[in-house]
């Protein structure tokens, strides 16, 4: 399904692989988790994936345990942390076929050291593992909480980098297979998560430039997260400015105007983003109170519902 | 004024800002640099972040990586600030720093060129895990050796890579260690020069298997690079060791940065503990962007009606607009209160979790994003201004 403004989330849910990227601290992980929850509620079988991460998603679903999965987090949602080591085991085994060979070669300390030196190899292994999952679970929607901008860019750029330097051989073949999946906008979509702040928007613009224009990857949606809603119209603002001098009212007026400034600033940054990136944008609002660990995720998923129905 | 931080700016030789992504490490690094330069110390602020945020934070726009930029005293004077020593910033250029590191270790120009022009070197600069971090450490060491600065403030990569940063020398140098390679590719390396033709992996069951992954060409390339690089290795290793000693000594200090949000705070604490385990215990946890308290609504009952009447009578407002203004006040107050209460809860939790290992300092959220000297100065005043001179920086007026 094509991703449009009025069906952004269902558009994404129609893919087999959705990656969320963006600057650190914008709430990518929460958005990925909420989207998984939203899609699962609509009957999709979802596999949520973190990449070499701190295993945050189980916590956001209110779970305590701390291994790398795979594990069921909720009805219809399984989760796993993609690590270099596991990717090497799964994808490496696939290429090498025999466990004994794997042990003899890849469990060697020196060889591991070597693997660090192979540019982009660990990225390729992780992506290979991911592509392998997508291929073998055709009915499943894979939602990836990709690493923050810099590292995320490196991850997604790795196949292209390898294809540009290696022109044949086994590595070439497996990497083209990975690249085919990543670049295929029918099966795959990348969503950029931003907050209404300058640096976040700057990075999103850069990321779009790199992923979409240079690497031709299917960046298909923008998700603005943690927005505040506090609009003041012009006459009200003018009246409030006048009240500022009354000592009794000053604190409250200060709040109202400051919040208004922040909201206006957020919108200005989002406008800049819209001007630079011609993609549908969904607005999600800050979840302030969390009654329990799973609340932010739940509330964001509800917001996704109303974003989809309200239009 | 925060005494711990003030003291660090006066006495440390290297200050690292560490923490998760997006919490304001770069901004804080710039603030600390500014404070030190104001107190008369020649200061360099170094960032390793590829997103070039420092330039943004300092309002310098796009500056080429690798080039040192002096912050002009005149610019600062406009904000009432008197620099008493030079303040410079630099954004790391991995390729340049690594090339410079190599040329400091390898005497022969010809060999230098062969190394830095080697295709593997180019790729290493872009891709090798830890290469960027390693380059930063080399650059830092170099700057310290040059002795042109009293203080170098280092803005490190986000939390999960910050440890890479401190472990980088070891990792990168291990990879390029020829002794390890000897075992792997003995015949080829002993032959001296390794080209595709002379490459004989007869000892290499392992090598053959690896090549199924990477292709033989890559292995040959890597082997030849390792061979070329061997001469530089020992010197680089010594420098890395020396730098590690500096990082563990009193000359260096680590400042942990977080925001009052669950995940960043948790990440920051985890990072703090892991640094402590490496004998690099952070001295302070700066919690950035705390919501200011909401203050109070008027206490008198029926103030809303009174205000509506006043606005209509004195300001000539329509009644509908006047009522909307009252609603806006109440709504704004409620929203700010919720935000402030949330931050207070989180700060309390953070303080509990920090268990006194790292004292906390808070910085209030500013009205605008910090992307210029004025913003840096507001934060600097929050942290460093003497109590009486702290004349209501933005976001604090009703605390």
Residue with tokens 């073998």: A136
The β-bridge relationship of strands B151-155 and B360-364 is: unpaired
Given a cut of 90, is residue B32 above it in pLDDT?
yes
Return the residue of A nearest to B27 by Cα: A199
Q: Do the chains contact at B123 and A251, CB–CB below 8 Å?
A: no
pLDDT, mean of residues A89-101: 67
Give the distance from CA B26 to its chain's centroid: 5
Minimum distance, in Å, between the CA of residue A2 and any CA atom of chain B: 31
Residue B10: in which H helix or E strand, if any? helix B3-11
Please, which pLDDT band fits residue B200 given cuts at 50, 70 and 90?
Answer: very low
What mean pLDDT, rounded, does chain B reach? 81
Residues B222-263: pLDDT tens digits? 778 888 888 788 888 888 888 888 989 999 999 999 999 877
Indicate the pLDDT class of residue B168, thresholds 50, 70 and 90.
low
What are the tokens at A63?
């779970």
pLDDT at B284 over 60: yes
Residue contact B332–A104, C-beta within 8 A: no
Torsion of CA B217, B221, B223, B228, to 10 degrees: 160
Of the candidates B134, B125, B128, the one whose C-alpha atom is nearest the C-alpha of residue B96 is B125
Determine, for residues A165 and B119 on separate chains, whether the beta-carbon distance falls below 8 Å: yes
Distance from CA of A1 to the nearest CA of B (A): 33
CB < 8 Å from B in window 208-227 of A: none
CA angle, B26 as apex, B236 and B170 as ends, to 5°? 20
Coarse DSSP helix, strand, coil percentages of chain B, rounded to the nearest 5 percent:
60, 10, 30
Residues A156 and A101 sit within 8 Å (Cβ to Cβ): no
Spatial neighbors of A98 by CB under 8 A, at least 6 apart, are none
Cβ proximity of B16 and B101 under 8 Å: no
Q: What is the pLDDT of residues B135-161, one digit of tens each?
A: 888 889 999 999 999 999 998 876 566
Say what the alpha-carbon torsion angle A271, A272, A273, A274 is, to the nearest 10 degrees: 50
List the single best residue of B24, B28, B51 to mutate versus A (max A Cβ within 10 A): B51
What does the alpha-carbon distance between residue B272 and residue B280 come to, in Å, rounded to a whole number?
9
Contact A288 B56 (CB under 8 A): no
> Which pLDDT does position A102 carry in this prediction?
64
Q: Do A111 and B206 touch (CB under 8 A)?
A: yes
Mean pLDDT of B394-399: 36
- Give the CA distances from residue B254 to residues A67, B5, B136, B265, B330, in Å, rounded to whole numbers and listed in that order: 30, 10, 16, 16, 42
Quickly count: other Cβ atoms within 10 Å of residue A292's Cβ. Answer: 8
Chain B residue numbers touching A262 (CB-CB < 8 A): 367
CA-based nearest distance A47→chain B, Å: 22
- Select the residue from A66, A114, A260 to test the B interface by mutation, using most B Cβ atoms within 10 A: A114
Identity of the residue in B180, B214, B332 whose CB atom sits nearest the CB atom of A252: B332
CB contact under 8 A, B331 and A256: yes
Strand partners, B123: none
Q: What's the pLDDT tens digit per position in B47-84? A: 876 445 556 556 555 667 777 878 878 888 888 999 99
Mean pLDDT of the residues in chain A: 87
Count Cβ atoms below 10 Å from residue A291 Cβ, excluding itself: 8
- Record: contact B397-A254, CB cut-off 8 A: yes
CB contacts under 8 A, B 100-119 vs A, are 119
| Distance of alpha carbon A240 from the chain centroid | 40
Report the 10 Å Cβ neighbour count for B63.
16
Taking contacts as CB-CB distances below 8 angstroms, the residues of chain A near B216 are 169
- Angle, CA of B8, B9 and B14, to the nearest 5°: 80
* pLDDT class of A97 with cuts at 50, 70, 90: low
A235/B342 CB distance under 8 A: no
Option in B49, B175, B206 nearest A116 (CB): B175
B393 confidence band (pLDDT: 50, 70, 90): very low
- Residues B367/A261, Cβ–Cβ less than 8 Å: yes
Residues from chain B contacting residue A149 (CB–CB below 8 Å) = 51
Chain B (256-285) residues lying within 8 Å, Cβ to Cβ, of chain A: 259, 261, 263-264, 267, 270
A256/B328 CB distance under 8 A = yes
Q: Do A256 and B395 touch (CB under 8 A)?
A: no
CB B25 within 8 A of CB B155: yes
Would you state the pLDDT for residue A99?
A: 61
**Complex ipTM:** 0.82
Q: Are the CB atoms for B358 and B274 separated by under 8 Å?
A: no
Least confident range from A46-55, A62-71, A73-82, A189-198: namely A62-71
Question: Who's near A166: CB < 8 A, 6+ residues apart?
Answer: A172, A175, B214, B215, B217, B218
Q: Do A150 and B264 touch (CB under 8 A)?
A: no
More confident residue, A275 or A112: A275
Dump strand ranges (E) for B259-394.
284-290, 360-364
Nearest to A87 by CA among A143, A155, A20: A155
* Distance between CA atoms of residues B86 and A46, nearest Å: 56
Q: Does B217 contact A166 at a Cβ distance shorter than 8 Å?
A: yes
Chain A nearest-CA distance from B344, in A, is 12
Query: Does residue B129 have a pLDDT over 70?
Result: no
Are residues B335 and A170, on separate chains, in Cβ contact within 8 Å? no
Nearest alpha-carbon partner for B52 in A248, A51, A206, A19: A206
Contact A189, A183 (CB under 8 A): no
Q: Where are the alpha helices (DSSP H) in chain A?
A: 8-13, 28-41, 57-60, 84-87, 93-96, 99-106, 109-117, 121-136, 149-165, 169-183, 198-208, 234-243, 250-276, 295-309
What is the maximum alpha-carbon separation in chain B? 97
Give the residue-averaged pLDDT of B3-28: 91
Cβ of B160 within 8 Å of Cβ of A53? The answer is yes
Q: Residue A60 is encoded by which pair of tokens?
A: 């956001």
What confidence score (pLDDT) does residue B189 get?
46
Q: Among B306, B269, B292, which Cα is nearest to B367's?
A: B292
At residue B7's C-alpha, the angle toward residues B4 and B10, to 5°, is: 155
Using CB atoms within 10 A of its CB, is residue B237 exposed (0-12), middle (13-18) or buried (19+)? Answer: middle
pLDDT of residue B392: 40
Please indicate whether, in this complex, the C-beta atoms of B329 and A249 are within 8 angstroms of each other: yes
- Which distant-in-sequence residues (6+ apart) come within 8 Å of A59 by Cβ? A293
Residues with Cβ < 8 Å from B394, sequence gap 6 or more? B364, B366, B367, B368, B378
Above 80 in pLDDT, residue A2? Answer: no
pLDDT at B218: 72
If pLDDT is split at 50, 70 and 90, which confidence band does A298 have? very high
Crossing angle of the two packed helices A121-136 and A169-183, in degrees rounded to 10: 60
- Cβ B165 vs Cβ B17: under 8 Å: no
DSSP bridge pairs for A195: A225
Query: Which residues in chain A (268-297) have CB-CB distances under 8 A to chain B?
Result: 288-289
Q: Under DSSP, is residue A277 helix (H, G, I), strand (E, B) or coil?
A: coil
Is the N-terminal amide bond of A290 cis, ω within 30° of 0? no
Q: Which of residues 7-36 of B touch A (CB under 8 A)?
A: 20-23
The vertex-B115 CA angle with B114 and B121, nearest 5°, equals: 130
Of the candidates B213, B328, B398, which has its C-beta nearest A95's C-beta?
A: B213
Which residue of chain B comes nearest to A95, CA vs CA?
Answer: B213
Share of chain B above pLDDT 70, in %: 78
List the single best residue of B161, B229, B325, B343 to mutate versus A (max A Cβ within 10 A): B325
Q: Does the beta carbon of B334 lie under 8 angstroms from any beta carbon of chain A?
A: no
For the segment A158-172, the average pLDDT, to the nearest whole number, is: 78
- Check residues B88 and B220 and name the one with the higher pLDDT: B88
Tens-place pLDDT, residues A231-271: 788 889 999 988 888 888 989 998 899 899 889 999 999 99
DSSP conformation class of A88: I
Question: What sign does the dihedral A93-A99-A101-A106 (CA atoms) show?
Answer: positive
E strand or H helix at B272? helix B262-277
Handedness of CA B342, B376, B329, A272 (dihedral sign): negative
- Predicted confidence band of residue A218 (pLDDT cuts 50, 70, 90): very high
Out of A132-141, A152-161, B356-365, least confident range: A152-161
Q: How far is Cα B9 from Cα B323, in angstroms, rounded to an integer?
A: 51
């Amino acid at each position: 399904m094509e991703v449009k403004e009025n069906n952004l989330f269902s558009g994404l849910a129609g893919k087999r692989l959705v990656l969320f990227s963006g600057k650190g601290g914008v709430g990518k992980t929460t958005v990925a988790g909420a989207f998984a929850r939203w899609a699962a509620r609509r009957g999709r079988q979802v596999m949520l994936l973190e990449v070499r991460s701190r295993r945050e998603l189980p916590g956001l679903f209110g779970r305590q345990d701390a291994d790398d999965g795979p594990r069921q987090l909720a009805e219809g949602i399984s989760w796993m942390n993609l690590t270099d080591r596991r990717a090497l085991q799964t994808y490496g085994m696939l290429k090498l076929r025999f466990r004994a060979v794997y042990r003899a070669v890849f469990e060697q300390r020196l060889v591991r050291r070597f693997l660090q030196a192979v540019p982009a190899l660990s990225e390729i292994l992780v992506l290979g593992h991911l592509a392998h999952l997508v291929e073998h679970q055709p009915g499943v929607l894979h939602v990836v909480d990709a690493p923050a901008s810099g590292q995320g860019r490196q991850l997604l750029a790795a196949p292209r980098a390898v294809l540009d330097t290696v022109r044949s051989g086994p590595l070439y073949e497996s990497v083209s297979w990975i690249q085919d999946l990543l670049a295929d906008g029918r099966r795959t979509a990348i969503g950029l998560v931003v907050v209404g702040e300058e640096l976040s928007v700057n990075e999103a613009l850069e990321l779009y430039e790199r992923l979409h224009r240079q690497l031709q990857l299917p960046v298909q949606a923008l998700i603005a997260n943690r927005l505040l809603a506090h609009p003041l119209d012009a006459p009200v603002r003018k009246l409030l400015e006048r009240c500022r001098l009354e000592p009794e009212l000053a604190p409250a007026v200060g709040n109202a105007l400051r919040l208004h400034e922040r909201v206006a600033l957020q919108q200005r940054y989002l406008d800049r983003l819209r001007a630079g990136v011609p993609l549908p944008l969904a607005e999600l609002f800050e979840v302030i109170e969390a009654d329990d660990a799973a609340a932010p995720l739940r509330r964001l998923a509800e917001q996704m519902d109303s974003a989809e129905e309200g239009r | 004024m925060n005494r711990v931080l003030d003291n660090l700016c006066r006495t440390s030789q290297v200050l690292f800002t560490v923490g998760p992504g997006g919490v304001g490490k770069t901004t804080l690094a710039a603030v600390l640099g500014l404070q030190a330069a104001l107190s008369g110390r020649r200061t360099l602020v170094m960032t390793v972040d590829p997103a070039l945020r420092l330039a943004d934070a300092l309002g310098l726009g796009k500056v080429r990586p690798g080039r040192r930029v002096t912050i002009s005293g005149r610019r600062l004077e406009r904000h009432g600030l008197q620099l008493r020593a030079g303040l410079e910033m630099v954004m790391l250029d991995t390729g340049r720093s690594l090339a410079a590191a190599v040329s400091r270790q390898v005497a022969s120009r010809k060999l230098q060129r062969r190394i830095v022009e080697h295709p593997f070197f180019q790729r290493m600069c872009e891709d090798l895990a830890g290469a960027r971090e390693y380059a930063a450490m080399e650059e830092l060491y170099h700057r310290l050796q040059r002795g042109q600065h009293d203080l170098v403030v280092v803005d490190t990569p986000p939390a999960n890579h910050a440890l890479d940063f401190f472990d980088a020398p070891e990792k990168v140098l291990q990879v390029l260690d020829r002794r390890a390679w000897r075992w792997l590719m003995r015949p080829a390396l002993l032959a001296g020069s390794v080209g595709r033709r002379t490459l004989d992996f007869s000892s290499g069951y392992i090598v053959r298997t690896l090549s199924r992954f990477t292709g033989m060409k890559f292995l040959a390339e890597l082997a030849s690079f390792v061979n070329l690089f061997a001469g530089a290795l020992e010197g680089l290793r010594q420098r890395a060791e020396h730098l590690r000693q500096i990082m563990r000594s009193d000359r260096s200090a680590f400042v942990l940065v977080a925001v009052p949000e669950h995940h960043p705070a948790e990440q920051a604490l985890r990072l703090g503990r892991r640094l402590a385990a490496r004998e690099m215990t952070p001295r302070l946890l700066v919690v950035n962007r705390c919501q200011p308290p909401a203050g109070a609504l008027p206490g008198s009952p029926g103030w809303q009606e009174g205000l509506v009447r006043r606005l209509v009578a004195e300001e000539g407002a329509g009644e509908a607009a006047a009522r909307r203004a009252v609603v806006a006040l109440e709504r704004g107050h409620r929203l700010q209160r919720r935000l402030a209460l949330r931050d207070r809860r989180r700060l309390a939790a953070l303080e509990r979790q920090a268990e006194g290992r790292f004292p906390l300092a808070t910085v209030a959220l500013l009205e605008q994003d910090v992307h210029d000297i004025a913003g840096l100065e507001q934060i600097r005043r929050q942290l460093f201004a003497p109590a009486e001179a702290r004349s209501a920086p933005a976001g604090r007026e009703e605390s």
